[in-house]
């Protein structure tokens, strides 16, 4: 598309066809999206102001068709941007020469998010198990127990780690005998996760 070419239905159809046949985003005006938005608003105003029923239908059809083509152009380019971000994350160097600044923003955000997700999936689980072991509740020594402390329970089943009311991380293992805060003990008793001993 020529930098100074006016946007109209014909030029939009040509851009759409170019995007459909190209594997990379085609070259478009740097102000394409702003100009497209203005063009659609102009058509919509024509629809609002037109009194002639025949012209009104023509303008309404033009507005609807223009929006469909505009959406198609964006989605075709969007798909290529997503593919480029994936290619970059996998070590390739895709052609980004025809991306507009706003499209590069989307591309960069996608590349960053893919990298973050990969780290979370492939690296952080190892760190989680090797460096961030949850705090196991202390096993109670019955002989040294203060008679006024929290309830003592036996754990009946393993639980996923969770944050207790005291903001500590707990990982309950079957057959553990532990002391837990009373406000935590009651819901665990109701669920059958623990059995109170004292």
Q: What is the pLDDT of residues 66-102, one digit of tens each?
A: 999 999 999 999 999 999 999 998 889 999 999 999 9
Instruction: Tokens for 143, please give them.
Output: 């002989």
How much is the pLDDT for 168? 76
How much is the pLDDT for 169? 74
DSSP per-residue codes, 68-103? HHHHHHHHHHHHHHHHHHHHHHTT-----TT--HHH
Mean pLDDT of 36-64: 89
Contact between 7 and 28 (Cβ < 8 Å): no
**Domains in the chain with CATH codes:** 9-125 (1.20.58.1030), 142-196 (3.40.5.50)
Say how far apart CA 143 and CA 26 lie, in whole Å.
79
Say how far apart CA 85 and CA 111 lie, in whole Å.
5
Distance of CA 153 to the CA centre of its chain: 41
Q: Higher pLDDT residue, 149 or 65? A: 65
How much is the pLDDT for 173? 79
Q: Is the pLDDT of residue 46 over 90?
A: no
Residue in 74, 114, 75, 108 with CA at minimum distance from that of residue 94: 108
How much is the pLDDT for 136? 55
What's 169's DSSP letter?
E
Contact between 175 and 155 (Cβ < 8 Å): yes
Q: Higher pLDDT residue, 80 or 191? A: 80
Q: Is the pLDDT of residue 125 over 70?
A: no
Residue in 182, 89, 95, 170 with CA at minimum distance from that of residue 135: 170
Contact between 96 and 105 (Cβ < 8 Å): no
Strands 162-163 and 169-170: antiparallel
Q: Is the pLDDT of residue 21 over 90?
A: yes
């Amino acid at each position: 598309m020529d930098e100074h070419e006016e946007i109209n239905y014909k030029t939009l159809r040509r851009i759409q066809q170019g995007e459909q046949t190209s594997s990379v985003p085609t070259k478009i005006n740097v102000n394409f999206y702003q100009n497209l938005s203005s063009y659609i608003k102009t058509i919509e105003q024509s629809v609002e102001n037109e009194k002639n029923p025949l012209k009104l239908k023509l303008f309404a059809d033009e507005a609807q068709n223009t929006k469909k083509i505009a959406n198609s152009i964006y989605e075709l380019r969007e798909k290529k941007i997503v593919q480029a971000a994936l290619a970059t994350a996998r070590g390739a160097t895709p052609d980004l020469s025809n991306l507009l600044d706003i499209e590069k923003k989307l591309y960069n955000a996608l590349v960053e998010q893919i990298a973050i997700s990969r780290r979370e999936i492939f690296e952080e689980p190892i760190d989680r198990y090797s460096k961030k072991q949850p705090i196991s509740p202390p096993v109670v020594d019955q002989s040294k127990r203060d008679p006024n402390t929290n309830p003592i329970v036996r754990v009946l089943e393993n639980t996923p780690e969770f944050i207790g009311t005291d903001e500590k991380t707990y990982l309950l293992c079957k057959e553990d005998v532990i002391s837990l805060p009373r406000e935590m003990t009651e819901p665990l008793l109701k669920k059958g996760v623990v059995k109170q001993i004292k």
